[in-house]
Amino acid sequence: MRNTTKLKHILLKYDLALSMEEENLLKLTLVDKITGNLASFEHSSYSHLISRCYSHFLKEIKPQTKSIKHKA
């Protein structure tokens, strides 16, 4: 899956802040739009950073999709 597609999925659930620390270390902070929970990730590679955020996104929505299936 392309990074742009992953980013679109992430933005459905989160607001994000992207910054660069010293030594070209990227920092991406996710803020859940509903709960306000924060998650931060750091890496020197943008692609790796987006992949880690997307994995976090999938882990967060998995319990929600299970509860929806059980209600049906």
Q: Where are the domains of the chain?
A: 3-71
Per-residue pLDDT band at 66 (split at 50, 70, 90): low
Class of domain 3-71: alpha beta
Q: Which of 9-13, 29-33, 68-72 has the lowest mean pLDDT?
A: 68-72
Per-residue pLDDT band at 3 (split at 50, 70, 90): very high
Rg (CA), the chain: 14
Q: What is the pTM of this model?
A: 0.81
20: left (phi over 0), alpha (psi -120 to 50) or beta: beta
pLDDT tens per residue across span 29-56: 999 999 999 999 999 999 999 999 999 9
